[in-house]
Amino acid sequence: MYNLIGAGLIVIGGGIGLGQIGGKAMEGIARQPEAAGKIQTAMIIIGALLEGLAFGALILGK
List contacts with another protein (CB under 8 A): 41, 44-45, 48-49, 51-53, 55-56, 58-59
Q: Which is nearer to another protein, 28 or 51 (CB)?
A: 51
d(CA 45, CA 59): 21
Write the CB contacts of 60 (distance below 8 Å, at least 6 apart in sequence): none
Tally of CA atoms within 13 A in the half-sphere of 2 that contains its CB: 1
